[in-house]
Amino acid sequence: MRSGATAVYELVSASGARVACVVFLLLSVGLAAGLYAVLVRASGSRSVFREEPLVRGSVATVASLLLFSLLFGTVYATLLSGFYRVELNEEEVLLHYLFPSHTVTLQRMELAEVEGVALLPGRWSLRLHTHQGATYPSALAQEPVAFQSWRALNAYLEGGRGDVTPAELR
């Protein structure tokens, strides 16, 4: 067990992120299956003068997999990847990830700065930078939660910057 106080900042609800993952997964699978069905049906309707199908099953499969990868990959990369919770201990920072579920532990001395980045209107991502050049982005969070976490991380790294204004996050 670690000694000292621990501060925990949750940027995204873990249960909400899991529900979003399932919804986007099902939506992506459904659209890809729909594309496959349309392409296979189109290939089954042959004309009298044509003996070859318009679209082969392998082409329909590849097109469906590409659509699934594009849809779900984009959602994962923009909304679901990154840490969803940050835990500040005396000398360590723990970054908790959902997809895949794991925790990254960084020493306080490794961290160089915390950056707040606006990605969508009202949605922000935090980026932790280390002195070695590594970057750890957070999942997409609402602006007030991201600002509160950004402020706490800056105070943790810089020793008490409690007078930060929302304009500094932008």
Report the CATH number at residue 148. Answer: 2.30.29.30
Shared-domain flag, residues 75 and 27: yes
Question: Are the C-beta atoms of 111 and 93 separated by less than 8 Å?
Answer: yes
Does 137 map to a domain? yes
Does 9 map to a domain? no
pLDDT, position 119:
83
Tally of structural domains, the chain: 2
Range of the domain at 57: 14-79
E-state strands within 70-122: 83-88, 92-97, 102-107, 111-120
Residue 15's pLDDT band (cuts 50, 70, 90)? confident
Q: Is the pLDDT of residue 89 over 90?
A: no
Shared-domain flag, residues 99 and 128: yes
Does 3 map to a domain? no
* Mean pLDDT on 84-88: 91
Shared-domain flag, residues 89 and 164: yes
The Cα–Cα gap between 118 and 103 comes to 24
Mean pLDDT of the chain: 82
Shared-domain flag, residues 143 and 104: yes
Answer with the residue of higher pLDDT: 34 or 100.
Answer: 34
**Nearest by Cα to 83 from 33, 145, 29, 126:** 126
The Cα–Cα gap between 117 and 129 comes to 13
* Mean pLDDT on 29-44: 83
Shared-domain flag, residues 139 and 117: yes
Q: From its phi and psi, is residue 82 left (phi > 0), alpha (psi between -120 and 50) or beta?
A: left
Shared-domain flag, residues 49 and 68: yes
Does 111 map to a domain? yes
Does 150 map to a domain? yes
Q: Is the pLDDT of residue 28 over 80?
A: yes
Select from 49, 64, 79 the last residue of a domain: 79
Phi, psi angle pair for 46, to nearest 5°: -95, 150
DSSP letter at 166? H
Does 5 map to a domain? no
Shared-domain flag, residues 92 and 66: no
Shared-domain flag, residues 75 and 88: no
Does 147 map to a domain? yes
